[in-house]
Amino acid sequence: MPLLQFNLVQGSWTKPQVKTILDLAYDTTLEVFHAPEGDRYQTVSFFDPDYLVMADTGLGFNRSPHRIMLNIRTRPRPEAEKLTFYKTFLAKLQATFDFDPHDLMIDMVENGDADWSFANGQAQFITGEL
């Protein structure tokens, strides 16, 4: 935990590039969220460009087909940790790819311990297993 859900434009990234994006995000969760090693939950969905709409919300920029919409579900985190995650993940993308910072959008949704069941129909944060 956290659960990272990546939304990408179909055909804009190669399979090895997608793997690298996932690895960079995982490394960022270890570094910033202090997630334990092996705590990796990620999904990737691909969309026709017309179905992954990321407007600029009036900020005055355009996005390319390499845009990434990242949805994160996580236990509550301090604001400073969230802001550090945004900057750190972007910096890793920019250091690895010729990545436009306007092409990254991240949203975090917080939830509680009872909202996670990793297996066996139990809430491991509540049972004390995690």
The pLDDT tens digits for 7-66 are: 999 999 999 999 999 999 999 999 999 999 999 999 999 999 999 999 999 999 999 999
Which residue, chain included where needed, has tokens 């750190």?
88
Phi-psi region of 6 (alpha: psi -120 to 50; beta: other; left: phi over 0): beta
Q: Are 103 and 63 in contact (CB under 8 A)?
A: yes
What's the confidence (pLDDT) of residue 120? 95
> What percentage of the chain exceeds 70 in pLDDT?
100
Domain assignment of residue 35, given as a range = 3-127
What's the confidence (pLDDT) of residue 6? 98
Helix H or strand E encompassing 114: none
Tally of domains within the chain: 1
Catalytic residues: 2
- Residue 125 — φ and ψ, nearest 5°? -70, -30
**What is the C-alpha separation between 101 and 84, in angstroms, rounded?**
15
Q: What is the CATH number of the domain that holds 55?
A: 3.30.429.10
